[in-house]
């Protein structure tokens, strides 16, 4: 099976004249040293259609081309599983992950994961790739997950993520009526006592910051939008419990499970700059059926 290569190209401008191609790729476009070393060994960098050394200097008008590595040995077994694709091109795949599915195989969940589904999707098209999710969400959180299709796309989005250039939004339903229209929870998070899973507010823990905005209030619940400024494990869940409004259905953090048996949290939007074009990309995922049903129940409760 042969995976079609992704070709990255850039036309040098006036400011690039006299610069080494290495410097342009490293400093202007944030190619990692690891990737540049692979490109150098594979002779995958050309100027105006001819192989060039990274230490050569460019001039205005040069067309710098980089062939990104197409074939990689998958480390996850592909499976024929449903996959709700929101966006895909030669660099990225974005999917709407269902409730109950783990992102990456582990000892407890070795199969039926999102990774197995993605690799199976690519294998059926004759493509060999590694599974490189840019971020992970909990097994029972639904919504957007973005996967890089090559090393370049992964390191480009990782660079954006580290610098806060990627914007993620979640929607959730919490227990009780939140009084403030909006606010920020700026509380550090650590492990809860005697647990390897649950987190809690801990002044000695890792810094975590969650912004929220009320979208609608119901008699016994509140519909919130969350914007994460950090990405800690269980951050929203622990912060909601900490300020007295656990997510509905979240039994681990004290949420009411009367109408929902999983925490009512959905990864609804992921915005970033495309790794190759630099153009803004916004990925949105619709609510799954259980949250749509919860919305109907809450609305019926208001009108009853």
Q: Is residue 304 predicted with pLDDT exceeding 50? A: no
Q: What is the pTM of this model?
A: 0.87
**Range 6-68 has CATH code 3.30.420.40:** no
Q: Residue 155 and residue 36: Cα distance in Å, rounded?
A: 12
299 versus 24: which is more confidently predicted?
24
- Residue 138 a catalytic site member: yes
Using pLDDT thresholds of 50, 70 and 90, give the confidence band for residue 268.
very high
For residue 260, CA distances in Å to 61, 62, 78 come to 59, 59, 31
Give me the pLDDT at residue 71, please: 60
% of the chain surpassing 70 pLDDT = 96
Residue 201: CB atoms within 10 Å: 17
Identify any residues that bridge with 256 across adjacent strands, giving them in sequence order: none
- Edge-to-edge, what's the strand order for the sheet holding 45-47? 6-11, 63-68, 45-47, 50-51
Sort strands 280-284 and 182-185 into parallel, antiparallel or unpaired.
unpaired
Is-same-fold flag (6-68; 167-267+293-303)? Answer: no
User: If you search the block for the tokens 């390191």, which residue do you land on?
Assistant: 155
The angle at the Cα of 117, spanning 112 to 121, to the nearest 5 degrees, equals 155
pLDDT, residue 164, reads 86
pLDDT of residue 118: 97
Q: Within 10 A of 166 (CB to CB), how many other CB atoms are there?
A: 20
Q: Where are the domains of the chain?
A: 6-68, 167-267+293-303
**Active-site residue identified among 16, 71, 80, 138:** 138
According to CATH, the superfamily of the domain at 167-267+293-303 is Pseudouridine synthase (3.30.2350.10)
CB atoms within 10 A of CB 127: 18
The string of pLDDT tens digits covering residues 210-240 is 999 999 999 999 999 999 988 899 999 999 9
What mean pLDDT is predicted for residues 114-126?
95
Torsional sign, CA 239, 244, 249, 252: positive
- Write down the pLDDT at residue 100: 96
**Rounded average pLDDT over 111-138:** 94
pLDDT in tens, 286-298: 999 999 999 999 9
């Amino acid at each position: 099976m042969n995976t079609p290569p992704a070709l990255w190209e850039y036309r040098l401008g006036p400011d690039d004249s006299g610069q080494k191609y290495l410097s342009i790729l490293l400093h202007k476009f944030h190619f990692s040293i690891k990737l540049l070393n692979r490109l150098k060994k594979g002779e995958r960098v050309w100027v105006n259609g001819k192989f060039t050394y990274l230490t050569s200097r460019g001039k205005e008008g040069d067309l710098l081309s980089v062939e990104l590595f197409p074939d990689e040995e998958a480390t996850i077994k592909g499976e024929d599983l449903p996959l709700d694709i929101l966006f895909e091109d030669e660099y990225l795949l974005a999917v709407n992950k269902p409730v109950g599915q783990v992102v990456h195989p582990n000892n407890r969940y070795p199969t039926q994961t999102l990774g197995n589904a993605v690799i199976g999707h690519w294998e059926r098209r004759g493509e060999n790739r590694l599974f490189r999710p840019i971020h992970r969400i909990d097994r029972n959180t639904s919504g957007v997950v973005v996967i890089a299709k090559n090393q370049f796309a992964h390191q480009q989005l990782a660079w954006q993520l580290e610098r806060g250039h990627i914007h993620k939004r979640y929607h959730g339903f919490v227990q009780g009526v939140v009084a403030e229209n909006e606010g920020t929870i700026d509380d550090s998070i650590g492990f809860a006592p005697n647990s390897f899973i649950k987190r809690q507010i801990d002044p000695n823990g890792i810094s975590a910051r969650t912004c929220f905005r009320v979208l609608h209030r119901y008699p016994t619940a509140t519909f919130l939008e969350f914007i994460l400024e950090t990405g800690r494990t269980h951050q929203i869940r622990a912060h909601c419990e900490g300020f007295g409004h656990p997510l509905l259905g979240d039994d681990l953090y004290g949420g009411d499970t009367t109408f929902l048996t999983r925490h009512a949290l959905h990864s609804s939007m992921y915005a970033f700059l495309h790794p190759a074009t630099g153009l803004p990309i916004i990925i949105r995922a619709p609510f799954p059926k259980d949250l749509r049903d919860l919305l109907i129940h809450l609305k019926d409760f208001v009108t009853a």
